[in-house]
């Protein structure tokens, strides 16, 4: 059992400073005292080598590194590993990596011969760096938790999305259908549909090669319904925009999307802006670019309240799974909706 220090210690890399600062503010509110980010510099030499220097004493402290491994994935991953090494060599008592978006998660199996399982390699690197626990959200494949030989707490965005959906569509939930954009995501969509008491349908897709969708079929009745597509990652948005078109052709009244991680690379923002979707809701697990912030039909919901409470629960040695409960989360998000 780790003895409780006066407060948890938070430190952040450069991947998503706004989220780290929001988590810090939330932890401070809950603790009734200032819990700022540990003063440190994370920078690059001229040859792009990453250098970390921690300016505060962290000996015997319970440290939380807030660092999604989003684009540029390799740089942000190396920042995380080097920060962990710096803290371990500075005698931190425990190091927890808070990784809101876990990069390389889509490489979780060998789909073809002579290909890597990069998610397992990244898990090995994280454990070898001295990190003793991982806190993340909506892993692309839940079995990735088993790639780690250290504890992994995987939070879910569906409770946050259910609060938002009930706020936006509360008076007409009987006309809402939750959509899984593929067969593999049915579990995620079913969980959200169950939370808000709505019907479930599936868009079955046949993919010829990565990034290209050949054919889509709607399984289920969406006639006259407000359809809400639910998924964990939106990258180039090609599949998402085509799914919206297919649903409207099948008789849907309108289409909205709730996606946990807005990777939104390449032409994604332009595609979404010009698409038939009424809105795309993403979390702030990945720092939004200026085009994303300015897009008329993209909205961002905060994850800081959930991550701050999860950090406090880990620090206190209490249950993290309590955050999956609607009532617990509603209390944390009180005033937001």
237 is in an annotated binding site: yes
Provide the 3-class DSSP secondary structure of residue 269. helix
Residue 153 among known ligand-binding residues: no
Cα gap 308→315, rounded to integer Å: 11
DSSP 156-215: -SHHHHHHHHHHHHGGGGGGEEEEESSGGGHHHHHHHHHHHT-EEEEEEEEEEETTEEEE
Q: First CA to last CA across the chain, in angstroms?
A: 37
**Residues contacting residue 7 through CB under 8 Å, at least 6 positions apart:** 27, 31, 33, 35
Is 239 annotated as belonging to a binding site? yes
Q: What are the DSSP calls for 102-129, one per residue?
A: -TTTT--S-SSTT---HHHHHHHHHHHT
The Cα 90–Cα 88 span in angstroms is 5
Classify the C-alpha dihedral 138-255-215-203 as positive or negative: positive
**Which listed residue (120, 168, 205, 278) is catalytic?**
205
> CB–CB of 265/235 below 8 Å?
yes
Strands 62-66 and 94-99: parallel
Q: Does the annotation place 326 within a ligand binding site?
A: no
Please tell me whether 106 is known to bind a ligand: yes
Report whether 107 belongs to an annotated binding site.
yes
The DSSP letter of residue 140 is S
Residue 205 appears among annotated catalytic residues: yes
CA distances 191 to 126, 167, 183, 273, Å, are 30, 18, 14, 28
Fill in the DSSP letter of residue 226. E
Q: Active-site positions?
A: 205
Binding site members for ATP: 47-49, 106-107
Binding site members: 47-49, 106-107, 140, 182, 207, 231, 235-239
Binding site members for D-ribose 5-phosphate: 207, 231, 235-239
Binding site members for Mg(2+): 140, 182
């Amino acid at each position: 059992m780790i003895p409780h220090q006066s407060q948890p210690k938070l430190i952040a890399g450069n991947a998503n400073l706004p989220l780290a600062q929001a988590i810090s503010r939330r932890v401070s509110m809950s603790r009734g005292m200032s819990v700022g980010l540990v003063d440190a510099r994370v920078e690059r030499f001229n040859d792009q080598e990453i250098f970390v220097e921690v300016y505060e004493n962290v000996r015997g402290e319970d440290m939380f590194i807030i660092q999604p491994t989003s684009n540029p994935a390799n740089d942000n991953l190396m920042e995380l590993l080097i920060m962990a090494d710096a803290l371990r060599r500075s005698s931190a008592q425990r190091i927890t990596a808070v990784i809101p978006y876990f990069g390389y998660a889509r490489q979780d199996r060998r789909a073809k011969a002579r290909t890597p399982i990069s998610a397992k390699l990244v898990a090995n690197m994280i454990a070898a760096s001295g990190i003793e626990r991982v806190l993340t959200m909506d892993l692309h494949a839940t079995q990735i938790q088993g790639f780690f030989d250290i504890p992994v707490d995987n939070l879910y965005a569906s409770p946050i999305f259910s609060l938002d959906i009930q706020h936006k569509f509360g008076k007409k939930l009987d006309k809402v259908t939750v959509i899984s954009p593929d067969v593999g995501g049915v579990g995620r969509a079913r969980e959200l549909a169950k939370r808000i008491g709505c019907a479930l349908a599936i868009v079955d897709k046949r993919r010829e090669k990565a990034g290209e969708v050949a054919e889509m079929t709607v399984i289920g009745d969406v006639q006259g319904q407000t359809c809400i597509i639910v998924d964990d990652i939106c990258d180039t948005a090609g599949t998402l925009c085509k799914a919206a078109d297919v649903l409207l052709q099948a008789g849907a009244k309108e289409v909205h999307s709730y996606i946990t991680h807005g990777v939104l690379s390449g032409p994604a923002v332009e595609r979404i802006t010009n698409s038939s979707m009424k809105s795309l809701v993403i979390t702030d697990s990945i720092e939004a670019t200026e085009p994303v912030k300015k897009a008329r039909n993209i909205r961002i919901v905060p994850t800081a309240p959930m991550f701050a409470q999860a950090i406090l629960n880990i620090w206190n040695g209490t249950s993290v799974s309590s955050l999956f409960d609607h009532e617990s989360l509603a209390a944390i998000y009180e005033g937001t909706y």
